[in-house]
Every structure is written in structure tokens, then in C-alpha cells.
Structure 1
Amino acid sequence: MYVRRIGSSVHDLIATMAEVHLVVPKLDNTLGAMFIGLIVSSILYGITCVQTYVYYVDNKTKDRVVLRSMVAVLWILNTLDMVFITHCVYYFAVTNYANPTSFNTAPWSVGGFNVIANLNDVIIRGILIDRIYKISLNNKFVLVALWVGNLTVSAFGLSLSIQIDKNPDLQALGHLAWLIYCCFTTMAAVDTIIAIVLCAILWSRKTGFSHTDSQIQTLMRYSIHTGALTSFVAIVIVITYAAMPHNFIFIGIYLSLPKFYLNALLATLNARDSLKGDRQQVTGAYSFHVSRMAASNNHPEPHVNTVKGCSGITSESRPDVIVIGEPLKGLQSLDIKA
């Protein structure tokens, strides 16, 4: 009789447990946002691999070893970046399946991703700053000012990584709101300033000739797109965090930011050959206004002029034009070699 009662009680308990459904909160704006960020990052990483391949095929010996090595390092960093993102999503989606409390403890891959992303961004901005330094004819003030901004963004990013490592609760980042705002607003500001300075210098190098100026305008558009794209993504991260600080939508966007940086840089580097080809197909030489160059106008003959280390012949139909047999140092710097 006693055994029968125990069996009946166990049967009732099992039946009761079968009727109980595990209630799991919706994960669309947490794990779902990170999953979408992983998909977007994977697509951008595929584009990065294609652009990296194109870069090395077309620039086997054209760029210096430093720039070619930096591109290889950036590709490796983006590969590690994808590994960390994949591990992070796997940790929340598989290892801690149906365990919403897992968001209170971030895996090690979150800190690794932040460090890799910051290093990636610092190197890419450094390449852009080096480009500005060369076409500005070694203006050290511009170099120092932009590097201060670059390192400031990196300092904010690394500080954010350290704070998250100390308190890995991703659903309670309210105490780090000021650091998140400083990090991404400074990032957007520095990227915008780099694009503006580069465009201003390129604009000052205009020669007055339609073909040369059109190439400069093309370089300006690439510079604007590079800075505008990354600045826009950083601003979107700030807006989404300000509007929805308790979900992971801003994190999902942040996961793809390093890929935007590298793809924008590779697009600029891979576009140089087409610009060079267009420039050489038109005249086979380089032409400039005399008023834009330090020329010697002491010669009474209208057909001969001397330009600092370069000999030129003045066009009889255009006495204000000099056709130079060798490219000037300033225009060579537009080729963005390291």
C-alpha cells in the first residue's frame, strides 16, 4: 500500500513536470542582434579576402615592403576578429543554450575582439595619416595632431575593454555609458577630420587642367567615402546605444566596424592602378599651370622654361602650360606608397 502511494506520487510529479514549459525570454535584440552582426561580418570578411587577393596580385612589387606587410597584418587581425566573434556567438547560442543568465558573464573572446578591433583601427588610421603626411610635403604639425587623435581613440577603446573585463555583465553597461559615448564619438570625429584634411590637401594640389583635376576629385571621393563610412557606423552605434542601452543591437553593429575600416582602405589602394592608367593614356606625360609651380620666367624665349630640376617645353598654343617629361614629387605622393 505504501509502495503504491509512492508510485502514484512519482507518476503525478512526472505528469506535472511534463505540463510545465520552460519560459525563455525573447532573444531577438540580444543574441539575435549578435547573430546578425556575425552574418554581416562574415560577408564583409569575404569581401576583405577578395580585395586582399586583388591587392597582392596587382601590387607584387609596386608598394614598399612596409605597406604590403601592413596589409598582411591587417588581414590576419581580421581573421582573428572573425574567430573571436564566432566563439562569442557560439558561447551564448550553443554552450549556454536557453540560459539567459549567461549574458551576465562575457566570454574571453569579447575582450579579445575589442583588443583586435582597436589594433586594427589604429593601424589603418596610421596608414591614412602617413598618406596625409606625404602629400602635405612632410607637415609635422598635421602628423602630430592626427596621431594624437588616433591614439586618443585607441586609449578610449582599450579602457572600455579593461572595464568590461572587470565587470563582464553585458546587460549592465550603464556605468560605462560615458566611456562608450567618448569612444565612438571621438572615433567618428577623428575619422571625419582625417577625411577633411586629406581632401583639403588634395584640393590645394589642383592644377587647373580638367583631366588632372578629375583624378584629384576621384581621390577626394575615395577619401570622403573612407571617412564617411566609418564615421557613419560609429555614429549609428552611439545612437542605438543611447536609444536602446539594455539590448545588444549596438554590439551587433560594432562587430562589423573593423571590416568596414579595412575594406575602405583596400578599395582605395586597389583603385590606384586605374587612376595611373587613365593619367598615362591621355597624354603620356604630366601638365601643370606655370602659375602653380616655381618656374623660372627670366628667359625671353616663349618656348623654353626651366622648372626646378625638370626641363620642359612650353606649348606654342598654350604659353601658360608646361609639359613635364618627369612627374613631380608632389604628384608622385598621390600614389600612396609607404
Structure 2
Amino acid sequence: LGGITIVQAYLYFPHPTDRMSVQILAASMLILDIASSVLVAQSLYYYLAKQVPYFGSIEPLQQITPELSVECMISTVLTFIAQMYFVYQIYSVKGKTNFLATFTLTRYATITNFALPGCVITMFVFSHGVLADRNGTFAVSSILFGIAKGLGAITDIMATIAMCAFLSNAKTGIRQTDSLVKSLIQYVIERGAVVTLIQTLVLITFFAAPDHLYWFAFHMNVTKLYANTFCEYI
């Protein structure tokens, strides 16, 4: 997925037609996505390679690496940028007449991405115990994580429904225009379905398997999917 983002950026940047602010956002998404991949790779190296001398012991696997904590923060920023850009597109379609919908989506996105920093701070401060005692001392951080992911999924669902509704009203009766609108609706639905599915899987695996890191595999893909869909949308 990281490679797809790079290819999308390679195709976009030589001949960009968007405003400078959008180009800066696109560059930021690319940089954050690459940084996320590097930090995840470093964390996997720590867990899989550097812990060989401790083979058979699960103690080293109960702590969070600093790189993983930073990656979670990067994921929060990247997700917030992608969601807010999508909300901005909804506002652009309907303008001030749809202020209530855009305000609601913005509120959900903001709450979602301000709950996650609480988890990140906990991971930094208590890196040696947060995985081992997730349902005990650090239950609050788990609740914040659940709230953030749950609201994130709700935000994506609401944004998808809103955009599809607005695009449906944009049909003009002209065949070519309606075909383009239909393609846009299909893309919006596919984008919303995939991102919401992964967000939901993160939430389910996080609470269903508290003693395992199954959720992290989906978490890594959430970051990539937001970057991919953002680059594809522009």
C-alpha cells in the first residue's frame, strides 16, 4: 500500500493542477506515509530481530517501542488530514446550505483525533507496561482508543452517505455528466466501505484479543488506506 501512495504521488506531482495548499497537503501525506512505514519497519526489527537473545521470553514483547508510539501519532495526524479534506469536499459541493452536516462531521473527526493523542502519551510514558496491563492500570487509554476508532468509523460512514446524497442530486440528465457522477459515487462508496471496514476490524480485534497484537496489522493498513484514498481523490 505504501508503494501505491508513492506511485500516485509520482503521477500527480509532475503536472499538478490544484491549489498550492492542496499540493502541500499531498506532499505532507506522502512524507507522513513514508515515515510511518519506516517507523513500523524499525519496530518490527526490534521485536523480531533484536529480541532473538530473549527467545522464549514474552517480557520484551510487552513494551511499546518509541518508534511505534511516534507512528501512532503520525497515523492520527494523517487520518485527521484525510478526514477533514473529505469534509471540505462535502462543504464545497453544497456550500453554506449544508453547514450542519459539515459541522457535525468536523466535530466527530476532531473528537476522534483528539482522543488518540491520549493513548500516544500513555504509550510514551508507560511503554514498559501498557501492553502487559492494558485492561488494568491502562484501561483508560484502551477506552480512549475505542472511542477514537469507533467515532472514526462513524465519521467515515456519515461522510460517505452525505457525499453520495449530494452527488445523486447533481445529476443533470446529460449522459456523460451522469456517467461521471455515477463513477464518483461508486468511488466514494468503495472508499468509505474499505476504510470503515478496516477501522471496525481494528476496534474488534483490539478488544476481542487484548493479549495479542492482531489489531496492529489492521492499524498499519488504516494509515496507508487514508493516504491512498486521499491521493486518488485529488
Asked if the contact 2:202–2:218 (Cα under 8 Å) also holds between the matched residues in 1, the reply is yes
Larger radius of gyration, structure 1 or 2?
1
For each residue in 1:39-65, what CA deviation from the matched residue of structure 2 results, as whole angstroms up to 9, or x when unmatched?
A: xxxxx11111001111123x43x1111
Answer whether contact 1:150 1:190 (CA < 8 A) is retained: yes
5+ residue gaps, structure 1: 1-43, 270-338
State TM-score, norm by structure 2: 0.89
State the AA in 2 paired with 1:148. Answer: R
Inter-CA distance 255–172: structure 2 relative to 1 (3 Å threshold):
farther
Question: Is the CA contact (8 Å cut-off) linking 2:119 and 2:142 kept in structure 1?
Answer: no
CA deviation map 1:104-138 (0-9, x unaligned): 32111121011100000111111111111111123
Choose which of 148, 153, 159 in structure 2 pairs with 1:194.
159
State the shift of 1:141 in Å. 2.7
Counterpart-to-counterpart distance in 1, 2:123 and 2:149: 16
1:214 and 1:70 mapped to 2: Cα distance? 29
1:111 maps onto 2:73 in alignment: no
Q: CA deviation at 1:98?
A: 4.3
Q: What percentage of aligned pairs have identical amino acids?
A: 22
Deviations 1:15-69 (A, max 9, x none): xxxxxxxxxxxxxxxxxxxxxxxxxxxxx11111001111123x43x11111111
| More contact order relative to length (CA 8 Å, sep ≥ 6) | 2
Q: Report if the CA contact (8 A) 1:226-1:261 is conserved.
A: no
Q: Tell me if the contact between 1:206 and 1:216 (Cα under 8 Å) persists in the aligned partners.
A: yes
- Which residue of 2 is the match for residue 132 of structure 1? 90
- CA contact 1:226–1:265 (8 Å) conserved in 2: no
The one of 95, 98, 101 aligned to 2:50: 95
- Pick which of 101-110 and 182-191 moved more: 101-110
8 Å CA contact retained: 1:124, 1:262: yes
Whether the aligned pair in 2 keeps the contact of 1:85 and 1:113 (CA below 8 Å) is yes
Alpha-carbon displacement from aligned partner over 1:65-103 (angstroms, at most 9, x marks no partner): 111111001101111111211111111122222432112
Aligned residue type for 1:154: N
CA RMSD of aligned residues (A): 1.6
Q: Tell me how far 1:143 sits from its aligned partner.
A: 2.9
What is the TM-score when the length of structure 1 is the normalising length?
Answer: 0.63
Whole-Å separation in 2 of the counterparts to 1:171 and 1:228: 33
Q: Output the amino acid matched with 1:239.
A: I
User: Within 1, Cα distance between the matches of 2:111 and 2:191?
Assistant: 20
Q: Match for residue 180 of structure 1?
A: 145
Q: Secondary structure of 1:264's partner?
A: helix
Give, in whole Å, the separation in 1 of the partners of 2:145 and 2:95: 36
Q: Output the CA distance in 1 between the equivalents of 2:109 and 2:53.
A: 41
Is there any run of 5+ residues in structure 2 with no aligned partner, and where? none
**Which of the numbers 219, 228, 232 marks the counterpart of 1:263?**
228
2:209 corresponds to: 244
